[in-house]
Amino acid sequence: MMDSKVKRIGVLTSGGDAPGMNAAVRAVVRTAVGRGVECVGIRRGWNGLINSDFIQMDAASVSHIIDKGGTVLYTARSREFMHEEGRAQALTTCKLLGLDGIVAIGGDGTFRGALALSRQAAAQGEQLRVVGIPATIDNDIGCSHYTIGFDTACNTAVECIDKLRDTMQAHERCSVVEVMGRHAGYLALYVGIAVGATAVLIPEREVDFENDVVEKIRRARLAGSTHYMVVVAEGAGSAIDIGRRIHEEVGIDPRVTVLGHIQRGGSPTARDRETASRMGYEAVLSLIEDRGNRIICTHDGRIVDLDMEEALAMTKQFQMDRYQVLEALTNTGGMQ
């Protein structure tokens, strides 16, 4: 075992929860303990550092959580932490606890908060290493090809839509399903292809309602279909408004379903558990090896760590080739 200057670290989950966060927490704690590093669980995100809301963690404290959704450390968004005064209080807590580093599990906002905290510590002549683990069902972190929670959310949405299709087929109806994705359509497009959707609307592509929805429904009807599935990312428009327009322009009566936060819950899939475990392990190694201010990412299936500042400046190129696949499979007008 290498001699590390890191003796005690904190771990937290922040922002929107994602299936697999618990697996990441478990990996961080057990890797740390196995390397002789103490681990403190910071509860309710960055608020936990401001309000001194924390617990001592050991290998036993993270038993039986790898299969659980949500996060045992709870999560929250902290307005107070966005200001220098709030971060100053957080640094006071870090100093009190003797934290040498923090593993922050969450999304872009979580990482920007971690970087701001580290910079503020440096300005005070102190060192606080921070490492981020990407966890968001939107899969929209620019530096990482994959984020924890995406696969589980996709499978949850697919299961729900498959059940909806059964009743839509029985009543020969159109279903409009809204999935999460305020600024990104990865979830909607992935799910749309998986369920054989008639149409998918995403924020990365301007909606041409006549060609993207109406004409596809007409082609499907001409091909013999009597039920239609339209998947909408929340950032591409309101499913209720889209359902209303379908009724006005096609004359059918759609049923609208907003899946909402159900997509964030549930037992994580094998992919999310395994990815979270690998990321948590690498996050601790990064701290122990004195590579702070990093984000743990996936690149072509490999786990890598990138400089946090450079990583946050990266943008993610949307995989429009997937939309081309969808177009090829729906333009023929066949069923599902």
Amino acid at 151: D
Distance in angstroms (rounded) separating the CA atoms of residues 30 and 228 = 48
Question: Is 138 assigned a catalytic role?
Answer: yes
Q: What are phi and psi of 139, to 5 degrees?
A: 55, 40
Q: Which residues of 3-40 are buried (b: 16+ CB within 10 A; e: fewer)?
A: eeebebbbbbbbbbbbbbbbbbbbbbbbbbbeeebbbb
CA distances from 54 to 40, 48, 57, 113, 135 (A): 7, 6, 9, 18, 21
What span, in angstroms and rounded, lies between the C-alpha atoms of 82 and 319? Answer: 32
From 53, 100, 108, 138, active-site residue: 138
Element (H, E) at 16: none
Q: How many residues does the chain have?
A: 336
H helices within the chain, ranges in order?
Answer: 21-34, 47-50, 84-97, 108-123, 150-171, 186-195, 209, 215-222, 239-250, 270-288, 308-312, 320-330
First to last CA, the chain: 55
Beta-bridge mates of residue 296: 305
Among 199, 155, 194, CA closest to 177: 199
Q: What's the sign of the alpha-carbon dihedral 103, 108, 113, 117? A: positive
Catalytic positions are 138
